[in-house]
A and B are shown apart, each in its own frame.
Chain A
């Protein structure tokens, strides 16, 4: 039951489907995100330093947040001692979003670029209310 025409035709269809995104996005260059640190809270800091180094936060913030939430929700812990020895309240809304209150320019700029859609804000919507930004 060898039917070369059919096989090749279907292969082409599949290949077309698989490569469609490449084809459709050809020539479109998304700007490399530049998350903004320009907020009132950050500018008011004596030392512009996040809970850990920028490189670490860039790469691992999701894991840090994940472990924070476990520690806070499940174990009743409240503060985080950074590797530099500083103590912070483990709070997404107070600590993280307290400084980074520019979700669109900070969080979303990278998340949109890598097509990540974390749903933190669906519950942690703070003062901005439901719609966020």
Chain B
């Protein structure tokens, strides 16, 4: 412990987000985390239940005095490492037009782009498979809205499903290590370094969006994409809204490959493309009655009438 304290105090530099538009306002470690840990440790000790808990909190408290650096200042000079400006958002969301996706037959490309770029292993056994985005029909995706007399077109329509990046994510609530966490921009992300593989998040996710690596995933990755790390066995993974691409100012892979059927943008910005799309059509979300507030919306414009083929509407590459 004392060893840790000595060395961590010595860490030299400071961290900054990109000077231009950080999508997360980066707070230096010290002020926030320390107070947080003191509070948590105190809570545990106070209730008299936490012989272990307070020990843990104490450990973190000591281990956490990481960077005694002043508030980060953005460097004036641009460097070789600077990337194009990343777009900012208060709450990232996706708007999916499933009918358009069927029409353009882009789903396979979407799944392929997502899975190959994120090194998602292709395991054929449905019990242990790992998947970030896949398809299912209306009756299974929206069970509570199902009825015997749905238009055939809607009944046969396939809906892409993925992590909903909930406003109130249950997985984040239950995770005992904060390995899964919600970012300030609304994205529910995973810290694979920290995940202990308890699968509480899988149990709690009402959307079945999470997969455990039941074995070493490496043999199931045909070609490792160097642009994104792979995972170890025993950790849970899911869609990360392509945070690594958003940081570079690029759209998520699924959006890029969807030929306009999947839109992304800031749900809190009335002028955003996603809000425009939602304002112009009926949209549904999966299991909204649970209060999780999913950030993935499905447009139903014209999906019910096969003759009146739905149009793309949104000008999107």
Direct contact of A and B (CB under 8 A): yes
CB pair A76 B24 closer than 8 Å: yes
The residue that B22 contacts in the complex, of A76, A88, A125, with Cβ under 8 A, is A76
Q: For chain A, which range describes its interface: under 10, 10 to 19, 20 to 34, or 35 or more residues? A: 35 or more
Find residues 212-261 in chain B having any chain A CB closer than 8 Å to their own CB. Answer: 218, 221, 224, 226, 229-232, 243, 247
B204: interface (CB < 8 Å): no
Please encode chain A, from 60 to 75, with 1 for each CB lying within 8 Å of some chain B CB and 0 for all others: 1001100111110111
A85: interface (CB < 8 Å): yes
B17: interface (CB < 8 Å): yes
Residues of B within 8 A of A88 (CB): 79, 81
- Tally of contacts, chain A with chain B, CB under 8 A: 110
A127: interface (CB < 8 Å): yes
CB pair B231 A63 closer than 8 Å: no
A83: interface (CB < 8 Å): yes
Residue of B nearest to A90 (CB): B15
Find residues 165-208 in chain B having any chain A CB closer than 8 Å to their own CB. Answer: 181, 183, 185, 189, 191-193
A111: interface (CB < 8 Å): no
Shortest CB distance B207–A (Å)? 23
A82: interface (CB < 8 Å): yes
Q: A81-B13, A123-B232, A125-B230 are in contact. Are A76 and B7 (CB under 8 A)?
A: no
Find residues 42-91 in chain A having any chain B CB closer than 8 Å to their own CB. Answer: 51-52, 56, 59-60, 63-64, 67-71, 73-83, 85-90
What are 14 pairs between A and B in contact, CB < 8 Å? A63-B11, A67-B8, A67-B29, A73-B191, A74-B181, A74-B191, A76-B243, A78-B247, A79-B82, A81-B13, A90-B15, A122-B230, A124-B229, A125-B224
